[in-house]
Amino acid sequence: MLRVTEIFRSIQGESTHAGRPCTFVRLTGCPMRCVWCDSEYTFSGGEHFSLESILDQVRAFGCKLVEVTGGEPLAQQKAFTLIERLCDEGYEVLVETGGYVSTEGLDRRAKVILDIKCPASGEEPRNDWSNIERLRADKDEVKFVIADENDWLYAKSVIEKYDLENRAVAVLISPAWGLVDLQQLADWVASSGLQVRMQLQLHKYIWGPEVKGV
Ligand code: SF4
How much of the chain exceeds pLDDT 70, in percent? 100
Q: What is the pLDDT of residue 50?
A: 98
Compute the distance between CA of residue 80 and CA of residue 63 in angstroms, rounded to an integer.
20
Which residue lies with its CA nearest to atom 8 of ligand 1?
37
Query: pLDDT per residue over 154-164, tens digit each?
Result: 999 999 999 99
Q: What is the pLDDT of residue 212?
A: 75
Task: Provide φ and ψ at 186, rounded to 5°.
Answer: -60, -40
Compute the distance between CA of residue 144 and CA of residue 137 in angstroms, rounded to an integer.
17
Which residue lies with its CA nearest to atom 3 of ligand 1?
71
Q: How many CA atoms lie within 13 A of 185 on its CB side?
A: 24
> Using a 6 Å cutoff on CB, does residue 39 contact ligand 1?
yes
Which residue lies with its CA nearest to atom 6 of ligand 1?
34
State the closest ligand 1 atom to the C-alpha of 121, by its place in the atom list counted from 1. Answer: 6
Query: pLDDT per residue over 22-75, tens digit each?
Result: 999 999 999 999 999 999 999 999 999 999 999 999 999 999 999 999 999 999
> Using a 6 Å cutoff on CB, does residue 71 contact ligand 1?
yes
> Using a 6 Å cutoff on CB, does residue 70 contact ligand 1?
yes
Span 185-214, mean pLDDT? Answer: 92
Alpha-carbon distances, residue 187 vs 152, 163, 176, 180 (angstroms): 11, 22, 16, 12
Query: pLDDT per residue over 162-180, tens digit each?
Result: 999 999 999 999 999 999 9
* pLDDT band at residue 209 using 50, 70 and 90 as cut-offs: confident
Q: Which of 125, 118, 60 is nearest to 89 (CA)?
A: 60
* pLDDT band at residue 147 using 50, 70 and 90 as cut-offs: very high
Query: pLDDT per residue over 73-126, tens digit each?
Result: 999 999 999 999 999 999 999 999 999 999 999 999 999 999 999 999 999 999
